[in-house]
Structure 1
Amino acid sequence: MTYLLAGDLGGTKTLLRLVKADSPDRSEFEQLYKSQEYTSLVSIAQKFLAAAQTHLGIEIQIQIACLAIAGAVIDRASYLPNLDWHINADGLQQALKIPHVELINDFAAVGYGIAQLPPADLHTLQTGQERQNAPKAVIGAGTGLGEGLLIHNGTDYQVIPTEGGHTDFAARSIQDFEFVQYLCRQLQIDRISNDRVISGRGIVAMYQYLRDTSNLSENPEIASVVKLWEAQIEKLVDPAALISAMAIAKTDPLSQATMQMFISAYGAEAGNLALKILPYGGLYIAGGIAAKNLPLLTDGTFLAAFNHKGRISDLMGKIPVRVILNPQVGLIGAAAQAARLGFGL
């Protein structure tokens, strides 16, 4: 039996899945690992393969592995900036004894996964006017910010990964300009990228900014978590989840203001991406933050910022905007691409 290994590697978690070559849409075994608890992907993969053999009770021979990486893939290698991992496909082939290992950008994997999702895994924010074979775009905030494109080549969609999440954050108001200055002082840097703002750490940064510059009082529960986060070098606790939960529950005005500022920035950058490709095939919002904060994405703040593009705002309303609810879309896409590679080998 020919097995394939699919993986989705991010700054927070690494998810690995074993599938059969003739049924890549069905998981035979999968495990989730906290990325920051390991020093390399090899150690995670070796642990996973040992657990898979124990679970299935047979010796497993993997022919192809397709691994989605939260970083640029150049010459079959990648560096994960949020983990300080260097990954090399040839090295993985030798260490794991897998004949063929392919590394792809994590948002390329999301692009491959979109076609595999049933309608129930998507939530429509804006219906728009979808056009057949038109370009598609993907954006997703999590540990960082990812962006990708899909272009139809006459037969199928070609996935084009980008590092668009590391473009400059565009301030749109006096508050935004003051926030950028605040963050530059806090981090002692002279440039702020979208990756620093439209991400989990961006939520915390906006909370800190509003805490320090507004008259909104701080909730003691959140304050204790944020102080612990500020004191930690490796950031083992994440206040962003608590902040967003308080905002959804409408129990903390500071958290609500934070998330409104964040969702607006998210919508604006999604709109910026859409302007550059005009994805009338759909703009898809991936990443862990969107699905977990759907009530905040559907209150109008996101679409107001997305569509607010001056003289060409009317164009934006024609673009379908959908939230991907399935958190494993990248893994699904990696498995689909592994099967496609197997077909071509």
Structure 2
Amino acid sequence: MTHPENTLSLVADIGGTNTRVALADGTRILPSTIRRYSNAAFPGLETALRQYISDEGDVDCKAACVAIAGPVRDGVGSMTNLDWSFDRDTVARATRAEHCNILNDLQAQGHALGHVDPANIREIVAANTQASPGAAQIVIGVGTGFNMAPVYNAESGRLVTPSEAGHANLPIRTEAELRLCQYVSTAHGFPAVEDVLSGRGLERVYRFLGHEAGDEREIDAKAIMATLDTKSDPRAIEAVRLFIRILGTVAGNLSLIQLPFGGVYLVGGVARAMTPYLSEFGFVDAFRDKGRFAGFMQNFPIYVIEDDYAALIGCAAYLDHRT
């Protein structure tokens, strides 16, 4: 295949297990160029990107932007759940692009807001008031890990600041949640939000409930979700219910910190899997359970982004405004 020289941008979304790469024309992702690679097949990011360049006919890109599931500092990215570390020079060597950037994956999701097809955004809760065009927003990612990024829309452009919110302490509201924190601490040394609000976290919640009941049976997150429709496993139902209520509490806490009158956007594979059950299992009640601020919490609309390529779209939007 042949692509025009020095015209398209390369965008990549690097998770703990897989890397997705595509070419973008401005803010538009070219669907036929989307490829997925298993990270286990490569020693590092540079070889994975070189493979993509080769697979796309040795494409000559004008710019490249990589979103990673981990912190980025001074242009250096470190994966949280993968032994990869790299910088802009790494991306430049692999892609031969003139302009290269590395973003945290939630930053990329934040830059995608306003560019994702509205058909791929599901409204969970409408706000009780109309937000101003420049109102702050937040994206909350629930998948292999957990994180959040605030989105600020200023006249000079959009600013999406990084964070590592998944590694803050779990909130505690009930005796059961205290016991869950103690259970997670025993296993991992520190009760972090990500230890519960992630795919692996759901499995830990399931094990915790079994531990409480004297039944140490384990199943994976996919199997837990699969039993919900059949209601064949009461413990799975209770695990998802506890997961969703803690998610509501954490999302509410983050909203009070950032005041996202422009919307709370849930992203990630686990968030999408939980969407059909958010209302049934009390997400909104937990989100708004803030004492005298319960009424104030109705100012924040809540959505789920159902586009699996939103991070790629965000990388393309980021580059489009800077090249």
Give the TM-score category using the shorter length.
over 0.9
| 2:182 maps to 1:181 | yes
What secondary structure sits across from 1:143 in the alignment? coil
1:149 aligns with 150
1:26 aligns with 30
| CA distance, structure 2, for counterparts of residue 42 and residue 27 of structure 1 | 23
What secondary structure sits across from 1:62 in the alignment? coil
What secondary structure sits across from 2:244 in the alignment? helix
Cα distance, 1:186 vs structure 2: 2.2
Q: Deviations over 1:248-277 (max 9, x none)?
A: 432211111111111111111100100001
What secondary structure sits across from 2:50 in the alignment? helix
Q: Deviations over 1:54-89 (max 9, x none)?
A: xxxxx4211210111111111111110200211111
Structure 2 vs 1, CA of residues 25 and 274 (structure 1 numbering), >3 Å: closer, same or farther? Answer: same
Preserved contact between residue 139 and residue 264 of structure 2 (Cα < 8 Å): yes
Of 307-316 and 206-215, more deviation after overlay is shown by 206-215
| 2:7 maps to 1:6 | no
1:112 aligns with 111
1:327 aligns with 308
Preserved contact between residue 23 and residue 29 of structure 2 (Cα < 8 Å): no
AA paired with 2:168? T
| CA distance, structure 1, for counterparts of residue 31 and residue 144 of structure 2 | 25
Cα distance, 1:216 vs structure 2: 7.1
Preserved contact between residue 63 and residue 319 of structure 2 (Cα < 8 Å): yes
| CA distance, structure 2, for counterparts of residue 210 and residue 315 of structure 1 | 33
AA paired with 1:174? E
| 2:172 maps to 1:171 | yes
2:264 to 283, 295, 303: 283
Preserved contact between residue 282 and residue 319 of structure 1 (Cα < 8 Å): yes
1:16-55 to structure 2, matched below 5 A, reads: 16-21=21-26, 24-53=28-57
Preserved contact between residue 20 and residue 28 of structure 1 (Cα < 8 Å): no
Q: Deviations over 1:75-126 (max 9, x none)?
A: 1111102002111111221244332221011111101111102321111111
Preserved contact between residue 61 and residue 95 of structure 2 (Cα < 8 Å): no
AA paired with 2:52? F
Structure 2 vs 1, CA of residues 52 and 164 (structure 1 numbering), >3 Å: closer, same or farther? Answer: same
Preserved contact between residue 130 and residue 319 of structure 1 (Cα < 8 Å): no
Cα distance, 1:152 vs structure 2: 2.3
1:271 to 231, 236, 252: 252
Structure 1 gap segments, 5+ residues each:
54-58, 227-238
Preserved contact between residue 121 and residue 306 of structure 2 (Cα < 8 Å): yes
2:318 aligns with 337
Query: How many residues were matched structurally?
Result: 316
Preserved contact between residue 138 and residue 283 of structure 1 (Cα < 8 Å): yes
| CA distance, structure 2, for counterparts of residue 193 and residue 312 of structure 1 | 25
1:61 aligns with 60
* TM-score (norm. length: structure 1): 0.87
2:243 aligns with 262
Identity %: 29
AA paired with 1:130? Q
Q: Deviations over 1:258-309 (max 9, x none)?
A: 1111111111110010000111110111111111232112325111111111
| 2:297 maps to 1:316 | yes
Preserved contact between residue 251 and residue 287 of structure 2 (Cα < 8 Å): yes
Structure 2 vs 1, CA of residues 213 and 105 (structure 1 numbering), >3 Å: closer, same or farther? Answer: same
RMSD of the TM alignment (CA)? Answer: 1.8
Of 61-70 and 86-95, more deviation after overlay is shown by 86-95
Cα distance, 1:215 vs structure 2: 6.2
AA paired with 2:50? Q
What secondary structure sits across from 1:317 in the alignment? helix
AA paired with 1:8? D
| CA distance, structure 2, for counterparts of residue 243 and residue 130 of structure 1 | 38
